[in-house]
């Protein structure tokens, strides 16, 4: 069973690459969803760290309020990551181990994570795929998908300066694919270095 990490900047097309692999039998681990679970399990610690300002009317964490605090302040983001990232990494490891030991393991696992390298999840991968896409294409996708303004897109991209897997210290095979909205061409690139059909 091969473990593939998919990473790339905001709106580069990580989900499209992941979908192509899932269509070929891979099992996806969506690190965003793992993060939601970690935020729930570590809710008390997060509220202790950031105070009542991150608590919603229902007493639970208000993710938007938390985001306003951490995405404009690197130190605050680092404090949040110190709480949730170890839980997330342990969860991803457990999922991979469970799939490996299944009676019929899938041909592969795909870890879909923008901050794959920052979380050191690349160390769990045999191959890391860095999805590239031109800035104007990413901007168009961000506006269509999220209704994002240019200022918001630029802010997110600045926060992702360390996304490029050139910072990886793992032994994973690092590959780059260009996503120009042509799924057939994208699949052809993947078939060039992955055992898929």
Task: Point out the domain boundary residue: 43, 72, 105.
Answer: 105
Note the pLDDT of residue 11. 81
Helix and strand numbers, DSSP H then E, in the chain: 8, 5
Average pLDDT on 186-190 reads: 94
Query: What is the pLDDT confidence band of residue 98, given thresholds at 50, 70 and 90?
Result: very high
Q: How many domains does the chain have?
A: 2
Average pLDDT on 103-109 reads: 96
Structural domain includes residue 197: no
Residue 112 · residue 31 · CB < 8 Å: yes
Mean of pLDDT over the chain: 89
Note the pLDDT of residue 150. 76
Do 99 and 118 share a domain, yes or no?
Answer: no
Strands across the sheet containing 2-8: 27-30, 108-112, 2-8, 127-132, 173-178
Do 101 and 112 share a domain, yes or no?
Answer: no
Distance between CA 171 and CA 159 in Å, rounded? 25
Each residue's pLDDT tens digit, 24-35: 999 999 999 999
Asked whether residue 74 carries a pLDDT value surpassing 70, the answer given is yes
Average pLDDT on 159-188 reads: 82
Question: Encoding tokens for residue 99?
Answer: 């799939």
Do 178 and 146 share a domain, yes or no?
Answer: yes
Task: Point out the domain boundary residue: 49, 76, 105.
Answer: 105
Do 51 and 12 share a domain, yes or no?
Answer: no
Asked whether residue 90 carries a pLDDT value surpassing 90, the answer given is yes
Note the pLDDT of residue 70. 87
Structural domain includes residue 44: yes
Cα–Cα–Cα angle for 144, 147, 148, nearest 5°? 110
Note the pLDDT of residue 191. 93
DSSP 8-state symbol, 61: B
Note the pLDDT of residue 129. 96
pTM of the model: 0.88
Query: What is the pLDDT confidence band of residue 122, given thresholds at 50, 70 and 90?
Result: very high
Instruction: Return the SS3 of 123.
Output: helix
Distance between CA 164 and CA 161 in Å, rounded? 7
Structural domain includes residue 178: yes
Note the pLDDT of residue 162. 65
Do 113 and 145 share a domain, yes or no?
Answer: yes
Distance between CA 19 and CA 169 in Å, rounded? 27
Helix, strand, coil percent values for the chain (each to nearest 5): 55, 15, 30
Asked whether residue 53 carries a pLDDT value surpassing 80, the answer given is yes
Note the pLDDT of residue 159. 66
Q: Please give the helix or strand (H or E) that residue 27 lies within, else none.
A: strand 27-30
Structural domain includes residue 181: yes
Each residue's pLDDT tens digit, 134-169: 888 877 877 888 777 777 777 776 666 666 666 677
């Amino acid at each position: 069973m091969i473990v593939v990490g998919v990473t790339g900047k905001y709106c580069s097309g990580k989900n499209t690459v992941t979908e192509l692999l899932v269509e070929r039998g891979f099992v996806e681990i969506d690190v965003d969803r793992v993060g939601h679970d970690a935020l729930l399990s570590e809710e008390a610690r997060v509220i202790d760290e950031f105070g009542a300002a991150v608590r919603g009317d229902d007493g639970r964490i208000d993710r938007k309020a938390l985001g306003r605090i951490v995405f404009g302040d690197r130190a605050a983001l680092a404090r949040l990551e110190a709480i949730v990232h170890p839980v997330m990494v342990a969860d991803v490891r457990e999922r991979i181990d469970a799939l490996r030991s299944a009676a019929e393991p899938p041909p592969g696992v795909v870890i879909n994570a923008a901050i794959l390298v920052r979380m050191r999840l690349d160390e769990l991968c045999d191959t890391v795929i860095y999805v590239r896409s031109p800035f104007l294409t990413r901007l168009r996708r961000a506006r269509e998908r999220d209704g994002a303004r240019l200022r918001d897109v630029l802010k997110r991209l600045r926060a992702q300066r360390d996304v490029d897997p050139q910072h990886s210290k793992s032994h994973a095979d690092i590959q780059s694919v260009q996503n120009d909205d042509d799924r057939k061409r994208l699949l052809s690139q993947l078939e060039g270095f992955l055992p898929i059909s």
